[in-house]
Chain A
Amino acid sequence: MGVFIARRVIISFFTLLAATLIVYVLVANSGDPLEELYGIADGNQREAAIEARTALLNLDQPVLQRYLGWLTGAAGCLVGACDLGQSIAGQDVTTLLPQAMVTTLRLVVASTLLAVVLGVTVGIVSALRQYTGFDYSVTFMAFLFFSLPVFWVAVLLKEFGAIRLNDWLADPVIPIPVLVVVALLSAGIWQAVLGGPPRRRLVVAGVAAVATGAVLAYLSAVRWFAQPALGPVLVIVISLAWAVAVTFLVAGLSNRRVLFAALAATAVALLGSIVLAPYLTDPTWGFLGLCVVGLVLAGMAAGFALGGLDRPQAMRAGVFSALLAGGTVFTDYVLFAFGDYYDSVNGRVVKTIGSGTPNFTGTFWERFLDQTTSLVLPTAALILISFAAYVRYTRSSMLEVLNMDYIRTARAKGLTERTVTVRHAFRNALIPVTTYAAIDFGAVIGGAVITETVFGWAGMGALFRNGLANVDPNPVMGFFVVTGALVVVFNLLADIAYAYLDPRIRLS
């Protein structure tokens, strides 16, 4: 394993090195960096400006020499003395880069993770319901999302997801026709997902329609969207529901030991949130990180103590239940802060421009809301396209696995459908998806450049776009070194995940 990783890192390093050369030369030759200066009317001033820029960018040297100069500076990064050169405006790239990096990474990582989780889930359900209405609808949606230009979606989201949504939040009442349509939609989706004979579908559809309609009508009547909150009762109910769902997926509800372990882990997590409440009013990310570690340990302990013969399954269920309970508590805190946040931004909750309100101060939860509400639209635009690809990949790879002989064997020896799907098929179906995730990451970075443009984020996309427009290689290279390294790291992670999922592959 160690040897494999070391070898991959070395190969990737040289690949990246060659790629930097290509990008540098292409950018440097893509136009004339002095072009805008030719327009200066006064001859002496023009001469001086041209001379200054020539000196700044070393334009009197051949391209390869400039590249070597840049590389020498960049190599300094390995020993802690970074020099990535200056932009055409004379700013150091090393000072521009870190801030832009944080902004963009938040966007890229959030949308990649969400796209994987959502896409894989929908893809698997679609494969399990092959050739049903649900499958056809999902397939069509995936094709549609594939064919959408990112920026076009982004502009639509700006109009409908931000401007009109904010207007609606000023008076959050759901009109009756909308309510009926949403209830019917939910009925259609749930009966298609759960499937079964027509009678059962009808019951499912009825229950879903009534439940959705009732919940929405209630939320609208109490103006929940203006002052959202979960409250202690709902937090407990939702956390317990998560525990039951996790048990169902991991071991099946008939396995009491696992169920008890999951419930116990949930209880520990909720108790912990009550004990720690004084520290949660304005926490830091470090503290929350410690909480996550604590939740994992608590879940493992609960599973270990109560699991008996099914200890591994119980521990897994315990960890997931504890984390989901923690997530529910987190959501509760965030929603609780919404009212104050709403007032402090004068009702313009979802942002159309920028990666956060400038100079925003508030508690941790309000700052989190501020960042999340700016993140939500660019992320949504980015997810849409990757999501479609993940759905298609997961569906086809799941179908392929489900057609294999060992699945038939598993069914023939009497395993439950849940065990066959989750334990036998799911894991193997993930293998090709892992490879795709690495490829997709590069595409998401490209998409991020566009989304950042539409939403006016001052991130890495701006660095790249302005650099390229001005024929200014240094910022572009700064952008490329970071994104290229990320793509390489993601590929490496995918390879390692591949070996973990498929033991037949030996990493050597």
Chain B
Amino acid sequence: MSNLDPPAAPTPPDDPHVTQPAVTTGEPGADFEFTVKARTQWELVLRRFLRHRGAMFAVFTLLLIVAVSVSSIGYGPIPGWWGLSYLQTASTVDGGRPTLDVLPAFVDGDGLAWGQHPFGQDNAGRDYFALTMRGVQQSLLIAILVGFFSTLIGATVGAMAGYFGGVVETVVMRLTDVVIAIPLLILAAVVARGTDGSAASLGLFLGLVTWTSLARLVRGEVLSLKEREFVEAARALGASPFRIITRHILPNVVSTIIVSATLVIASAILLETALSFLGFGVQPPDTSLGVLISNYQTAFATRPWLFWFPGLFIIGIALSVNFIGDGLRDAFDPRQNKVRA
């Protein structure tokens, strides 16, 4: 941290409409002009996030994975530049070994070469690069849908329960108690078994069972925020509960919501792969990273590439999302990074 950094923003922040003045902490001397630049809360958060090296690297990796997976085999109407389809079978070349080579010639390689099937072929001769990219698309789509629905439901329910209290709160909190008593994988498997196994319905239904922890977090924060003066002022001015929640309370909870959303997405990636592995997730002929690993787990001894490539992509995606979540948390709440005195 350079000494030009603004002092840590107070958290939880007050009304977000008030800007935080940032004071440069240099020695004000004759040849040093004392400047004050006003920065909003969001500018501060963004600055801290952009300076988080791990998170920026993760953003770059994730965007790269998304871009390659969508552009290579295309998605829906988008055409892809990779000539082979993930459904098209063919005869296997060289036992389906990957033709990808990154070793230079002097250590027994061909330099950087893609070849015809960079990730090899599966036992039906399908191009494994195309299959993996399709798996990435499906897994990411499910994870993002889960993140979206679970955040939407969790934030709404939590805010309502916290703000209105009374019967709404009791019902909602007892319901979350019940859902939390069921191990997540169990609940998710039971729900996923009932879907048609398409990415969209899996995303929706898994979202329906993963919102409880966020609802509790949001409720806790709303409970304390609704007693604050600025909420009381808004109420005195005659603002409706809807306006108070959306304009005055939720912006103050947004850090919790965003951080939780990234963590939900990261765990949803793993949840989807676990469900597909057990056979309750994405159904063939469509594929996902979990389906790929599940199909070829016994092939590890003979054709390990069928196992390595999807696994590496799962780790890459989950790791990136986790790092982004960590960077966001640091950006919203820099207190945690204080060096011990």
Interfacial residues of chain B within 240-292, with CB under 8 A of chain A in the complex: 266, 270, 273-274, 277-280, 290
The CA of A479 and the CA of B178, in the complex, are separated in Å by 17
Q: Find out whether the CB atom of B193 lies under 8 angstroms from the CB atom of A31.
A: yes
| Stretch in contact with the other chain, from B65-73, B126-134, B318-326 | B318-326
Task: Report if A468-B280 is in contact (Cβ < 8 Å); known contacts: A149-B293, A403-B341.
Answer: yes
Distance of A406 from chain B, by nearest CB (Å): 13
Taken residue by residue from 306 to 322, chain B's Cβ proximity to chain A (1 for < 8 Å, 0 otherwise) reads as 01000100110011001
Contacts of B338 in A (CB 8 A): 403
Interface of chain B: mostly helix, strand, loop or mixed: helix
| Stretch in contact with the other chain, from B90-98, B145-153, B161-169, B182-190 | B182-190
Q: Is A26 an interface residue (CB 8 A)?
A: yes
Q: Find out whether the CB atom of A23 lies under 8 angstroms from the CB atom of B341.
A: no
Contacts of B178 in A (CB 8 A): 15, 18-19, 22
Chain B, interface residues (CB within 8 Å), range: 35 or more
Distance of A72 from chain B, by nearest CB (Å): 21
A25 nearest CB neighbor, chain B only: B190
B263 nearest CB neighbor, chain A only: A146
Q: Find out whether the CB atom of A22 lies under 8 angstroms from the CB atom of B184.
A: no
Task: Report if A144-B193 is in contact (Cβ < 8 Å); known contacts: A19-B181, A151-B294, A399-B340.
Answer: no
Task: Report if A149-B193 is in contact (Cβ < 8 Å); known contacts: A22-B178, A449-B185.
Answer: no
Q: Find out whether the CB atom of B181 lies under 8 angstroms from the CB atom of A16.
A: yes
Q: How many inter-chain contacts with C-beta < 8 Å in the A-B complex?
A: 144
Interfacial residues of chain B within 159-209, with CB under 8 A of chain A in the complex: 174, 177-187, 189-191, 193-194
Interface of chain A: mostly helix, strand, loop or mixed: helix
Contacts of B319 in A (CB 8 A): 143-144, 146-147
Q: Find out whether the CB atom of B266 lies under 8 angstroms from the CB atom of A147.
A: yes
A447 nearest CB neighbor, chain B only: B185
Q: Find out whether the CB atom of B318 lies under 8 angstroms from the CB atom of A147.
A: yes
Q: Find out whether the CB atom of A15 lies under 8 angstroms from the CB atom of B315.
A: no
Instruction: Count residues on chain A whose CB falls below 8 Å from chain B CBs.
Output: 54
Q: Is B300 an interface residue (CB 8 A)?
A: yes
The CA of A163 and the CA of B311, in the complex, are separated in Å by 20
Q: Find out whether the CB atom of B183 lies under 8 angstroms from the CB atom of A150.
A: no
Q: Find out whether the CB atom of B181 lies under 8 angstroms from the CB atom of A487.
A: yes
Please list 19 pairs of residues, one from A and one from B, whose beta carbons are closer than 8 Å in the complex, sorted by A's number: A22-B179, A30-B190, A130-B339, A143-B322, A146-B266, A146-B319, A152-B315, A155-B300, A158-B300, A399-B336, A443-B185, A445-B186, A450-B274, A450-B277, A464-B186, A464-B189, A471-B193, A479-B186, A484-B183
Interface positions of B (Cβ within 8 A of A)? 174, 177-187, 189-191, 193-194, 266, 270, 273-274, 277-280, 290, 293-294, 297, 300-301, 307, 311, 314-315, 318-319, 322-323, 326, 336, 338-341
